[in-house]
């Protein structure tokens, strides 16, 4: 069902920068709908990480940043830390489906 495509996994050493892409289409990201990002630590519920393409909720470190261009969006984590090891999901709205859609998910591994 996922119409937003993410890489299955990315990895990096502590302190490095990693990016996660989220590729959509003209009925979701390309239509101008915002992209949001969630972090799911192992065994816990997802948590809102980035909203409205690039905004951080209170309490989210500024190591996390988001951007959007055309039919894609990206999440960047700079200064990677061990506690960033988690699954990350993008989310948007799709006008063809008349509903919300999540990305396929990306597992971030800290080496």
Q: Which residues bind other proteins (CB under 8 A)?
A: 1-2, 33-34, 36, 38, 45-48, 51-52, 57, 87, 89, 91, 93, 97-105
Q: How far is the CB of 38 from other proteins (least distance, A)?
A: 8
Nearer residue to other proteins within complex by CB, 80 or 93: 93
Nearer residue to other proteins within complex by CB, 69 or 99: 99
**Cβ atoms of 38 and 89 closer than 8 Å:** yes
Q: How far is the CB of 14 from other proteins (least distance, A)?
A: 26
Nearer residue to other proteins within complex by CB, 36 or 68: 36
Nearer residue to other proteins within complex by CB, 14 or 52: 52
Q: What is the CA radius of gyration of the chain?
A: 13
């Amino acid at each position: 069902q996922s119409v937003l495509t993410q890489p299955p996994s990315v990895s990096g050493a502590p302190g490095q920068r990693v990016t996660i892409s989220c590729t959509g289409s003209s009925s979701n990201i390309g239509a101008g709908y915002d992209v949001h990002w969630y972090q799911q630590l192992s065994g816990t519920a997802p948590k809102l990480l980035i909203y409205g393409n690039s905004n951080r909720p209170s309490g989210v470190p500024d190591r996390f940043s988001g951007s959007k261009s055309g039919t894609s969006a990206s999440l960047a984590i700079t200064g990677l830390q061990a506690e960033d090891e988690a699954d990350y999901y993008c989310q948007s709205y799709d006008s063809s489906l008349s509903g919300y859609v999540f990305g396929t998910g990306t597992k971030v591994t800290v080496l």
